[in-house]
Amino acid sequence: MKAAIIFTGTGPILIVTTYENLLDEEISIKLKAKGIKKYILSEISIDQCKTLYGNHFNLVTDDLGPSNDIRVLDYDGHHIFLSFSFHDMGEFIRIGQ
């Protein structure tokens, strides 16, 4: 399982996924279906998400399929920015044009 902050035109969202690779083309296809065609992606620690989100993390991840599934853990950009520092984030990867 992986977690990432996705910076979109309307603000950041925090996702968890069972995809092995955050750059899998299927992730982009699923995001495009939701209207997210261009974004910046940064992986973050699953353990940090578990600690910060507690039971909410468990509720969201219990709904994840065993492979190739995505769930939004948080869509409150202000909360995400308060919860994670840039130091917590991995490399920033630009997707889309």
pLDDT digits 0-9 by tens, 2-34: 999 999 999 999 999 999 999 999 999 999 999
Residue 79 has pLDDT above 90, yes or no: yes
Q: What is the pTM of this model?
A: 0.92
Cross-strand bridge partners of residue 92: 42
Q: Find residue 7's DSSP bridge partners.
A: 12, 40
CB 3 within 8 A of CB 73: yes
- Residue 72 to residue 15: CA distance in whole angstroms: 4
Q: Please return the burial class of 8, using the count of CB atoms within 10 Å of its CB with bins 0-12, 13-18 and 19+.
A: middle
User: Percentage of the chain surpassing pLDDT 70?
Assistant: 100
Q: Is 64 helix (H, G, I), strand (E, B) or coil?
A: coil
Q: Is the pLDDT of residue 47 over 90?
A: yes
